[in-house]
Amino acid sequence: MLKLIIPSMMMIPMTFLMKKNLLWTATTSFSFLIATLSTLMLNTNMTEHNLANPILSTDQFSCPLIMLSCWLLPLTIMASQMHMKTEPITRQKTMISLLILLQILLCITFGASNLLTFYIAFEATLIPTLLIITRWGNQKERLTAGLYFLFYTLSASLPLLIALIVIQTRFNSLSTYIIPLSNLTLLSNTSWSETMWWVACFLAFLIKMPLYIFHLWLPKAHVEAPIAGSMVLAAILLKLGGYGMIRMSSLFIPLTKDLAIPFMIIVMWGMIVSSSICLRQTDLKSMIAYSSINHMNLVVAGIFSMTPWAWSGALAMMIAHGLVSSGLFCLANITYERTHTRSIFMNRGLKTLFPLMSFWWLMMTFANMALPPFPNFTAEILIITSMFNWSNWTILLLGLSMTLTTLFSLNMLIMTQHEHPNKHAPINPSTTREHLLMLMYMAPIILLIINPSPIMI
């Protein structure tokens, strides 16, 4: 852990001391070096806890998410170059520093072995994300999106803090190692107070996922955020909710099995409705955002079914969705930088304008549809199998949701690539930087197809 956090911390002063002509190249290179260094975590025994110090540790859940966080930093820096090149050099350095700070906080969050450390880092990720959205967003509505993001997140922070205080009072510890060894009979009944305690523990994570009824902040934040904000939101920040739910579910198993049923109903409904909303979206980024809601609700269903297969599928879905959804946002941004519109109707016939880029659209769309052999397919099969074991009727709702997901994914691909192109001003062809960026998205996906064991519990 420290071999990732300390070099990342050193990158912040290095960024401000860097010369203008070397800024983007050097920060991208050093962040990619740290991302490569993070792959050494695969050499450790991920089936057990590896204690770096009394505060930080890694296991089979946190290792893949930490590696994903490190891998996304060079990609966000590469994708932001075109958007930031007209900004003053001080603002460019500030933007890169915020992205580095966000990676540090994410690594601490995923590696925390103490619930208070986890809570502090979990809430601290709000600050750089909010600054990125409200300062570098494209439209004036970015302030409204920032307020939605701020108040939705903060509304559940206080109940979570109170729940952690109750845990400290009952068990005299907030360590994720000591609590499972304690007497958990206090959590085996479903009294009113125990129910409120459980809801307080999970509400912050359900909003961060987001669960369908708490989802209004996500499309606004995605649409108004700059490309770096959208990529980090889709790839990492939504996974904070899933990771927190896995950690809390493993601590409070009796209550979770009893109280998860109403949330499962909301999840099933939310998957169908969010997929249906995608079918009528005309904004490309908004469609991808609602697609994220659909996939994250499937992760919630997998976690609440409380089986090892479902948790393996939930982890695999979080990693695969982090790469695919972030890649789709990156493709949408590449198009937006040339046509200056997010409308699907205005971005038709891109295959004629960008023949090489259409290949990346095809791959990312197929992965979003969870076609074999992409890791999304493996994740959905594991979750669907566990859900069928939980209740036979869920197969009908899940089947309808998968059908709608396929329909809107194909609709997005056909509308943007295969229609007659609209008349645009002369458009620059795709660059080597953009193809390298998409290749860095596809490389881990291909590696997971060959060897999915890093995301299998």
With contact defined as beta carbons under 8 Å apart, do 320 and 379 qualify? yes
Strand, coil or helix: what is 349? coil
* Chain centre to alpha carbon of residue 9: 22
Q: For residue 378, what pLDDT is reported? A: 93
Element (H, E) at 51: strand 50-51
pTM assigned to the model: 0.93
- Which residues face 50 on adjacent strands? 58
Q: Tell me how far apart the alpha carbons of residues 121 and 288 are, in angstroms, rounded to a whole number.
A: 27
Q: Tell me how far apart the alpha carbons of residues 296 and 305 are, in angstroms, rounded to a whole number.
A: 14
Q: For residue 366, what pLDDT is reported? A: 95
The stretches in the chain having pLDDT less than 70 are 43-52, 182-190, 423-425
Q: Tell me how far apart the alpha carbons of residues 319 and 326 are, in angstroms, rounded to a whole number.
A: 11
Strand, coil or helix: what is 355? coil
Q: At 156, give phi and psi (nearest 5°).
A: -100, 0
Q: At 114, give phi and psi (nearest 5°).
A: -115, 135
Strand, coil or helix: what is 188? coil
Maximum C-alpha span of the chain: 69
Q: Tell me how far apart the alpha carbons of residues 331 and 349 are, in angstroms, rounded to a whole number.
A: 14
Residues 6 or more apart in contact with residue 277 via CB below 8 angstroms: 290
Tokens coding 109: 């969050």
Q: Tell me how far apart the alpha carbons of residues 84 and 86 are, in angstroms, rounded to a whole number.
A: 6
Give the number of other Cβ atoms within 10 Å of residue 425's Cβ: 7
Residues 6 or more apart in contact with residue 231 via CB below 8 angstroms: 72, 75, 76, 79, 326, 329, 330
Q: For residue 184, what pLDDT is reported? A: 53
Positive/negative CA dihedral, 215, 217, 221, 223: positive
Across the chain, how many H-helices and E-strands are there? 22, 2
